[in-house]
C-alpha cells in the first residue's frame, strides 16, 4: 500500500506556498482537525449516550432549538481556539454575540474564526450526515488588543482559509487556503485525517438539484421556472430529468455536489425574505471552497463573497454549485 499523506504532513508541506508564513495558520488548521476528531467521536457514539443525543432545552439566537450535540461541538471548537494561541476571538452560529478571548496569550493571536459547529442539527437524532463549517480571517484590530466586531464582519473575499468537516459515512475534512481544495478522510484505525481527495474540482455542470421544494409556492416565480424548466424536464441528449436530492444538511448536499456536480438552492421566501442560511458561518466558507473548485456561489443576483456583512447572524439567499447550473438559475431570476 502506498504511504498515505496525513493532514499534518500536507499542511506543513503547503506552508512553503506562503513565503512569509509564521506557522500560525498551520497550527490553527491542525487545531481544527483535533476538535473535529473529538466531535466526530461524539457523533459516532450519539445513539448510545443520553447525554449526547436530544434537545438541549433552549433556543439559539436564530430562534432554533439547540441540540445537545450543537452545544458539545461549539464548546469543543471554542476550547481549542482559546488554548491554541493563534485566535483572538470567534463568532459561532450558536452564540448570540461574538466572543473576544480575554487572555494576553489569545489576544496576541492574529486570526478570528467564524463557524457553524454543527450544521444540519435537525438531522442529528435521525443518524443523517451533519457537519462543521469554518472560516478564518486575519484580524483588523491590532494584535495584543481584544478582538472587535469589525474583525468578524469582513467580506468573504478576505477569508484566509475555509473548510468543513462532514460527519457522514466517513468523517472528512475539506479545506482551502486559496490554492485549490483538498479533502482528507479520517482513518479511524490510526486516528489521522489522510489525503483522499486532492485538488478537488467541481464539475462544470451536474444532474442533481437540492432544494426544499416544500417552499416552492412561497419563492420568486423564477425559482419555479428554473426547477421546472431545467431540473424536471429531460434536457436534449439526456435520458431523464435531473435527480432531486435534499439532505437538509447544507454541508452534505454541498459535498455531494462538489464531487458529482449539482446545485443547492435556498432562496428568499415570503416567510424568510433574506433566505435561511447564515452569510458568515455557512455561505462565505462554502462559497470560498466552491470558487476555488471552479464552482459559483451567489445570492441569485450577486457574488456571495463580495457582500459586506453588517450583522453577525445575517442571512442571505444562497445558490451554490456547478457554474453552469448556478448561472442558469440566476438567468431565470432575472426574468
Ligand atoms: P440547522 O443546522 O439549524 O438544522 O440548519 C440547517 C440548514 O442551515 C442547512 O444545513 C439546511 O440545508 C437548511 O438549513 C435546511 O432548512 P429547511 O429545513 O428549511 O429545508
- Distance, in Å, from the CA atom of 195 to the CA atom of 186, rounded to the nearest integer, reads 9
Q: What angle do CA 324, 196, 16 make, to 5 degrees?
A: 90
Residue nearest to atom 5 of ligand 1 (CA): 120
pLDDT of residue 68: 87
- CA 175 to ligand 1 centroid distance, Å: 21
pLDDT of residue 53: 74
Residue nearest to atom 6 of ligand 1 (CA): 120
Closest approach atom of ligand 1 to CA 253: 12
Closest approach atom of ligand 1 to CA 247: 12
- CA 120 to ligand 1 centroid distance, Å: 5
| CA torsion, ordered 217, 221, 225, 228, to nearest 10 deg | 0
- CA 301 to ligand 1 centroid distance, Å: 21
Domains by residue range for the chain, with CATH: 7-197 (3.30.540.10), 208-334 (3.40.190.80)
Residue nearest to atom 16 of ligand 1 (CA): 248
- CA 250 to ligand 1 centroid distance, Å: 7
- CA 83 to ligand 1 centroid distance, Å: 30
Residue nearest to atom 1 of ligand 1 (CA): 120
Pocket of ligand 1 (CB under 6 A): 64, 119-122, 212, 248-250, 276-277, 282
What is this structure's pTM? Answer: 0.95
What are the tens digits of pLDDT across the range 294-331?
Answer: 999 999 999 999 999 999 999 999 999 999 999 999 99
What are the tens digits of pLDDT across the range 12-41?
Answer: 988 877 766 778 999 999 999 999 999 999
What are the tens digits of pLDDT across the range 70-88?
Answer: 999 999 999 999 999 999 9
- CA 190 to ligand 1 centroid distance, Å: 33
What are the tens digits of pLDDT across the range 233-247?
Answer: 998 889 999 999 999
Closest approach atom of ligand 1 to CA 278: 8
Residue 160 near residue 137 (C-beta atoms within 8 A): yes
Residue nearest to atom 4 of ligand 1 (CA): 120
Which set of grid coordinates corresponds to residue 190?
Answer: 490510526
- For the chain, percent of residues with pLDDT exceeding 70: 99
pLDDT of residue 19: 67
Residue 288 vs residues 100, 172, 173, 221: alpha-carbon distances, Å: 25, 18, 15, 28
Query: Please, what is the average pLDDT of the chain?
Result: 94
- Distance, in Å, from the CA atom of 263 to the CA atom of 297, rounded to the nearest integer, reads 10
User: Is a pLDDT exceeding 90 seen at residue 253?
Assistant: yes
- CA 227 to ligand 1 centroid distance, Å: 20
Longest dimension (CA), the chain: 63
Residue 45 vs residues 34, 67, 71, 239, 251: alpha-carbon distances, Å: 17, 15, 16, 42, 21
SS3 track for 88-147: EEEEECCCCCCEECCCHHHHCCCEEEEEEEEECHHHHHHCCCEEEEEEEEECCCCCCCCC
What are the tens digits of pLDDT across the range 109-126?
Answer: 999 999 999 999 889 889
Closest approach atom of ligand 1 to CA 246: 12
Q: What angle do CA 271, 121, 301 make, to 5 degrees?
A: 45
- Distance, in Å, from the CA atom of 193 to the CA atom of 75, rounded to the nearest integer, reads 21
Amino acid at each position: 500500500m502506498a504511504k498515505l499523506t496525513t493532514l499534518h504532513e500536507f499542511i506543513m508541506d503547503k506552508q512553503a506556498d506562503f513565503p512569509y508564513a509564521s506557522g500560525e495558520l498551520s497550527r490553527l488548521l491542525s487545531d481544527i482537525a483535533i476538535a473535529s476528531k473529538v466531535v466526530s467521536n461524539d457523533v459516532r457514539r450519539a445513539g448510545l449516550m443520553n447525554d449526547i443525543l436530544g434537545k438541549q432545552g433552549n433556543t439559539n439566537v436564530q430562534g432554533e432549538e439547540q441540540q445537545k450535540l450543537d452545544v458539545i461541538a461549539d464548546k469543543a471548537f471554542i476550547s481549542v481556539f482559546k488554548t491554541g494561541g493563534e485566535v483572538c476571538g470567534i463568532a459561532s452560529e450558536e452564540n448570540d454575540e461574538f466572543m473576544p478571548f480575554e487572555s494576553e496569550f489569545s489576544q496576541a493571536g492574529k486570526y478570528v474564526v467564524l463557524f457553524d459547529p454543527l450544521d444540519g442539527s435537525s438531522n442529528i437524532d435521525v443518524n443523517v450526515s451533519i457537519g462543521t463549517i469554518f472560516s478564518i480571517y486575519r484580524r483588523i484590530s491590532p494584535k495584543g488588543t481584544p478582538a472587535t466586531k469589525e474583525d468578524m464582519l469582513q467580506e468573504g473575499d478576505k477569508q484566509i482559509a475555509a473548510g468543513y468537516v462532514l460527519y457522514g459515512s466517513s468523517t472528512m475534512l475539506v479545506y482551502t487556503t486559496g490554492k485549490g481544495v483538498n479533502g482528507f478522510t479520517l482513518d479511524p484505525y490510526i486516528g489521522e485525517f489522510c489525503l483522499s481527495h486532492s485538488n478537488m474540482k467541481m464539475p462544470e455542470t451536474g444532474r442533481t438539484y437540492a432544494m426544499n421544494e416544500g417552499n416552492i409556492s412561497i419563492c420568486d416565480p423564477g425559482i419555479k421556472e428554473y426547477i421546472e424548466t431545467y431540473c424536471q424536464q429531460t434536457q436534449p441528449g439526456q435520458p431523464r430529468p435531473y435527480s432531486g436530492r435534499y439532505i437538509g444538511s447544507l454541508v452534505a448536499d454541498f459535498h455531494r455536489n462538489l464531487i458529482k456536480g449539482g446545485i443547492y438552492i435556498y432562496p428568499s421566501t415570503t416567510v424568510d425574505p433574506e433566505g435561511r442560511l447564515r452569510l458568515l458561518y455557512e455561505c462565505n466558507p462554502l462559497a470560498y471552497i466552491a470558487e476555488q473548485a471552479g464552482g459559483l456561489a451567489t445570492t441569485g443576483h450577486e457574488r456571495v463573497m463580495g457582500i459586506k456583512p453588517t450583522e453577525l447572524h445575517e442571512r442571505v439567499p444562497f445558490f451554490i454549485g456547478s457554474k453552469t447550473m448556478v448561472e442558469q438559475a440566476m438567468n431565470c431570476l432575472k426574468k
